[in-house]
Chain A
């Protein structure tokens, strides 16, 4: 360290630098000759990246450094002695000039003000100007302004480009966010369950419907949850209808199917009875997108279709058989009577035997006739009937045929009085007889059958399921008993001809199939609801022709 640290210089900084060569140059009172000073300032003015300028008290240019001409292309000769305001003619923004003049008139300093300059026939440039007023050293009067200027067009353009890039990036991000929201909305709106797993079988996303189908708790719908855990958790909660297979085996099998990501796609039954079609596909990044489609209605339709096909074939067979049997029964019915008349007076035993034969033939004939009604080949004669009135009359008649211990209770039978349905009187008697006999037989001892009337506008699904016309009102007749009820297997076959749960000799299982056949020929339907031990309710659907 040589000499004392000059004032105003932090000691640490002074210490960090090598020792001075000529410390006298730092002295504030360092004297320079005028010529030296002038040369120095000229060199500095010429070499500076900013240009230097000076105006006099009249705002006329008295000096600009060479850098101005180099940068702006405006030679000194052009503006020498001209006013500041003349720059407007050279493209200086008039509003900017007005501001600048206001500052100068107020004798204020200004720093880094940016002005737009559009020289004739050229693109806009940006000048950054600074200036301060100065006074004549002798008179002390205001003498003009001195300042610097620089062309910052390149910087402005860079900044503008960067700003634009930022704006675009923000816009793109906004659009991406919006697209994502739209996609999620769309996926949410899909009536099927949608689920996306990554390549490690972890949940990426799923829609609400997916959760609803499997009744998933929230923790199994969170991103990152392993598919295997969802399967295992749901299986443990009894969501799936699966046989006795061990849980691990079942999960392994399901995972294998999942990873194979079909086709073939498969269907799966839930314990609530619904059927799902599972469609899975690999995505480009190795994940798997899955769709769960509820195909219960389609399966029911197919089953109903198969059932109808089976019944149609059976009906054809039955009619063919009935034709043969009826022809065979004709002599069996008639000839015994002839023989009977030829018997000697005293032979009562043979007469009784023949009567027995004839009675058997009559019974056989009735059975064949019932088969014929079930397997009807022609349209019955339908007439508009006031269902309430007809039902009352029918019940009055049928009551006489029932065991005394069987009570028939009527509920709201007059609720739809005057409402006409297309039906056939004698067949209505047969339908009600068969249903009430069935109800009585389901209830040993004293029994009560409850008859009620309702009205329904079947949904498209129900209409399709029952093979009735959608968009058309139906009256319903409910026949309920509190008897032994039926299990699922019995319920499924209850309308099949010759299906019976009764002991041998109590019926051959045609009653309900005849009801089914008659309702079908009326363009109606019959359904059954039943629970073992609780009872059964048969519901008839009859198309309304006039209210």
Chain B
């Protein structure tokens, strides 16, 4: 059974993404902030991390760099609704650069599941 970690501070997004994934038979743990996600990442292994990029406090960039340092690096899908300002721009650039996939919100179920399947099949 693959383990997926979803990190997003927006409740509506968490609910939608969790619904899509569980219906497709995936095991999902949802974190409602960057720091909660960070704690979970450090406590156990996940095969795939889906993280929002722009969050207050610990954000997607921090999550990406933490994931990069893990011994058995999980795959990462970065998701974002876009944003204004220099920090948003650099976060999105980073997401495109470091994540295994990047999805712009709002995305369809098919798009998300296709990305998840692609990444999890490839993982060892």
Contact = CB atoms under 8 A, between A and B. Distances in A.
Interface in A412-435: none
A325 B107 CA distance: 13
Contact of B88 (A318, A328, A377): A377
Contacts of A341: 23
A320 B89 CA distance: 12
A332 B92 CA distance: 23
Interface string A317-329: 1111011111111
B93 A330 contact: no
A326 B15 contact: no
Nearest to B86: A377
A330 B88 contact: no
A183 interface: no
Contacts of B23: 338, 341
Contact of B83 (A319, A332, A335): A319
B36 interface: no
Contact of A326 (B82, B85, B88): B82
Contacts of A131: none
Given A333-B106, A378-B92, A378-B93, A327 B13 contact: yes
Contacts of B106: 326, 329-330, 332-334, 361, 365
B12 interface: yes
Contacts of B89: 377-378
B108 A330 contact: no
B1 interface: no
B16 A326 contact: no
A337 interface: yes
A372 interface: yes
A332 B81 CA distance: 14
Nearest to A369: B104
Interface string B37-79: 0000000000000000010000000000000000000000000
Interface string B1-25: 0000000001011011101100100
A216 B85 CA distance: 54
B73 to A, nearest CB: 26
Contacts of A262: none
B114 interface: no
Contacts of B82: 319, 322-323, 326, 372, 377
A326 B19 contact: no
A331 interface: yes
Interface in B84-124: 84-85, 88-89, 92-93, 104-109
A231 to B, nearest CB: 52
A221 to B, nearest CB: 57
A335 B19 contact: yes
Contact of B10 (A316, A327, A334, A338): A327
Nearest to B10: A327
B12 A326 contact: no
B105 A329 contact: yes
Which of B13, B54, B92 has the most chain A CB atoms closer than 10 A to its own CB? B13
Given A326-B105, A361-B106, A365-B106, A331 B81 contact: no
Contacts of A375: 84
A326 B17 CA distance: 14
A342 B15 CA distance: 16
B100 to A, nearest CB: 20
Interface in A29-71: none
B16 A334 contact: yes
A318 B54 CA distance: 16
A357 to B, nearest CB: 13
A503 B96 CA distance: 40
Which of B12, B82, B108 has the most chain A CB atoms closer than 10 A to its own CB? B82
A358 to B, nearest CB: 9
Which of A316, A318, A327, A361 has the most chain B CB atoms closer than 10 A to its own CB? A327
B84 A331 contact: no
Contact of A334 (B19, B80, B88, B92): B19
Given A319-B82, A325-B81, A327-B105, A335 B88 contact: no
A532 to B, nearest CB: 37
Interface of A: 315-320, 322-335, 337-338, 341, 361, 365, 372, 375, 377-378
Query: What 4 A-B pairs come out closest when comparing CB atoms?
Result: A326-B81, A319-B84, A331-B12, A334-B16
Interface of B: 10, 12-13, 15-17, 19-20, 23, 54, 80-85, 88-89, 92-93, 104-109
27 contacts: A318-B84, A319-B83, A320-B84, A323-B80, A323-B81, A323-B82, A323-B84, A324-B81, A326-B81, A327-B10, A327-B12, A330-B81, A330-B105, A330-B107, A332-B106, A333-B16, A333-B106, A334-B16, A334-B106, A335-B16, A338-B19, A361-B106, A372-B82, A375-B84, A377-B82, A377-B83, A377-B88
Given A330-B13, A334-B108, A338-B19, 17 more contacts: A319-B82, A319-B85, A320-B83, A320-B85, A322-B82, A323-B83, A325-B81, A327-B81, A330-B81, A333-B16, A333-B108, A334-B17, A341-B23, A377-B82, A377-B88, A378-B89, A378-B93
